Structure 1
Amino acid sequence: MAGASWRRLRRLDESLTAQPSHALVGVLRIPQGQSSPGRIVYKRSLIALAALVVSALLVYLDRDGYQDVQGDRLTFLDCLYYSAVTLSTTGYGDITPVTEFARMINVLVITPLRIAFLILLVGTTVEAFTETSQQAYRIQRWRKRVKDHTIVIGYGTKGKTAIAAMLGDSETTPSDIVVVDNDKAVLDRAKAAGLVTVDGDATKSDVLRLASAQRASAIVVATGSDATAALVTLTAREIAPQATIVAAIREAENQHLLEQSGANSVVVSSETAGRLLGIATTTPNVVEIIEDLLTPDAGYAIAEREVERNEVGASAKHLNEIVLGVVREGRLLRLDTPEVDAIEDGDRLLYVRATGGQ
């Protein structure tokens, strides 16, 4: 009965993913790989101005082919004026081409310049000031294509550091990561870093569905409280039964709650920091090595790979690499267990590798 009530309450907010793309602008934000609207207007205005100057020069070079209503010889200012009113299609008619050559230039050169001029100014204005439509299109396209991405719940210190590790340790790109948070200032920083962002409460199933949690390969729970982390993990596991869920908590006594909620791995941040502090009092260099191993873009890093065919049957202790453990059927085997003396086909090795910073 309690489980049914829980599911009913959770589904009260599941109208978000049913919204059209334009209604999600501001909630789901996809980074755009182009210049800002102001910069676009500035650059294209310069191009339009250049077109106006080219037109004025062409008219000035053939000024004898044009007639002023007053019968005066055209000056460069008259040519510039004529080009401006012609390109903008105002066309007062006080200056007109009268010779065949001037009219031919108008047809072959001035008219294409007029079209380009209008496209530049009008098109730029429409493009630059319809960000909502552009963002809606990007949202629609992203929702159709996104899969096997990583969702990070919370963009605080833990979430930001986790993302930095993912970007430094693999072929992951910022566009492969979705940040879910309800702090707009935090989301602005995530968007500036090139990350897809979702503004909402990750304890709500519809917010996670908007982030396409059902198609994610991994979900990192880096919230500020253990209670929120447990609720987010429970929600995420129901939506994404196959995803790898990693959660960070403050207190070790809550670890079993996260594991029962569906987390594959639980990191106790307070105890981990405490252990490092304790080690640093006697062997501070060990802390430096650990930091090095946890910073994948320089020095050394902990990595995982499949065993090679020629390694099957060998001992993990005698390989050329520094092996830390063997993963067999999802279970970690440490080097002090007898099973690692004979590597099996399908095993994966946890080892220390040199990174590009070496």
Structure 2
Amino acid sequence: MPGPLRRRLRSDDLTGKPDHALVGVVRIPEMQQSPVRAISRRVLFALGALFAAVFIVYLDRDGYRDVQDNELSFLDCLYYATVSLSTTGYGDITPFAPEARLINVLVITPLRVMFLIVLVGTTLEVLTERSRQALKIQRWRSKVRNHTVVVGYGTKGKTAVNAMIGDGTKPSEIVVVDSNQTVLDSAASNGLVTVRGDATRSDVLRLAGAQHASAIVIATNRDDTAVLATLTARELAPRAKIVASIREAENTHLIRQSGANSVVVSSETAGRLLGLATSTPAVVEVIEDLLTPDAGYAIAERDVEHDELGASPQHLVDIVLGVVRSGRLHRVDDSEVDAIESGDRLLYVRKGPA
């Protein structure tokens, strides 16, 4: 790789920075909670602390006195607890018995602190967000393995993620890399880990754990970016399966030379479907059904079962489209796969979820 290009990929290396410096670059999804529920919980906590203080003061009301030396009523206890927990403290009701003062120190004061923490919980949550994210990033980076990295979360990337999730992949096992914060926010809202940055830089892909990924999907909007991102990904992950999408068929050989295992030409694929739709729209409908895993039928791949060894793939219960042997796909009518062998994988049509 030319010197200036390599320097471009390695300048401002992010992987050597501490985890707290990566907050805003790497984002780990959080459990979503409605604002009404969050506020309601805090109000209930505050009311619980308040009435706990009222109950304690009321039980020990003989140890308190007001400015007129009157016995405390329940309303007086509620009033004292309210002004005490809010730290207003008018001083018109005070504990004078040693027991009351001890309880005030050991119980009322902690309740006061808890009450204030609940009231300013939103501020504290904002202040501690960076620390919590840094800790989550540290834990995630130490554990992430055999996941899928998706470069680009535009129309193609989002559709690819939806297809993987519909096929059974957990959102937590997918990492999205993009430089657009808006689309990353959309990905994070769907439970995906996101990394903000240029995927042609090796340090950005390292943050996404590309070196430990089992698959990398390149779904950028430009072919030159896709080639460079594929080249960088292959250098980091020699054994990962890289699937890349390009717009123009003439760039297929470039991206394969860069290290892509599979290449999808988006413009030609869409063009073929458009052409088919003019004369045989039902064919397009079937193809769309096969490409949608969460309804109808879907194309899938599976291991050969023991009782299928030696059988012809054309005579199985499942509709077999091809046989993968030694990493190579054979059509079902290929004479080389007349009999199924151990280690083969079947490309077949399966019924999707109801």
TM-score, normalised to structure 1, is 0.89
1:312 alignment partner AA: L
Unaligned runs of 5+ in 2: none
Asked if residue 224 in structure 1 is aligned to residue 200 in structure 2, the reply is: no
Provide the secondary structure at the position in 2 that maps to 1:130: helix
Match of 2:313 among 309, 312, 316: 316
Question: Identical aligned pairs, as a percentage?
Answer: 68
2:283 alignment partner AA: V
Q: Pairwise mapping of residues 164-175 of structure 1 onto structure 2 (< 5 A)?
A: 164-170=162-168, 172-175=169-172
1:133 alignment partner AA: S
Q: How many pairs does the alignment contain?
A: 354
2:160 matched to which residue of 1? Answer: 162
Report deviation, 1:92. Answer: 6.1
1:81 matched to which residue of 2? Answer: 79
Q: Is 234-243 or 303-312 further displaced after alignment?
A: 303-312
Q: Pairwise mapping of residues 121-270 of structure 1 onto structure 2 (< 5 A)?
A: 121=119, 125-170=123-168, 172-270=169-267
Unaligned runs of 5+ in 1: none
Match of 2:3 among 2, 5, 21: 5
1:223 alignment partner AA: T
Q: Pairwise mapping of residues 288-307 of structure 1 onto structure 2 (< 5 A)?
A: 288-307=285-304
2:67 matched to which residue of 1? Answer: 69
Report deviation, 1:282. Answer: 1.8
1:352 matched to which residue of 2? Answer: 349
Asked if residue 282 in structure 1 is aligned to residue 312 in structure 2, the reply is: no
Distance across 1 between alignment mates of 2:102 and 2:24 = 51
Distance across 2 between alignment mates of 1:124 and 1:283 = 58
Classify 1:182/1:104 alpha carbon distance in 2 versus 1 (closer, same or farther; 3 Å): closer
Report deviation, 1:124. Answer: 6.6
Classify 1:100/1:9 alpha carbon distance in 2 versus 1 (closer, same or farther; 3 Å): closer
Distance across 1 between alignment mates of 2:8 and 2:313 = 47
Provide the secondary structure at the position in 2 that maps to 1:159: helix
RMSD between aligned residues: 2.7
Contact 2:9–2:200 under 8 Å retained in 1:
no
Distance across 2 between alignment mates of 1:11 and 1:107 = 60
Report deviation, 1:70. Answer: 3.1
Report deviation, 1:55. Answer: 2.3
Report deviation, 1:40. Answer: 4.3
Deviations 1:315-334 (A, max 9, x none): 11111110000000000100
Contact 1:41–1:128 under 8 Å retained in 2:
no
Distance across 1 between alignment mates of 2:332 and 2:148 = 31
Provide the secondary structure at the position in 2 that maps to 1:129: helix
2:23 alignment partner AA: V
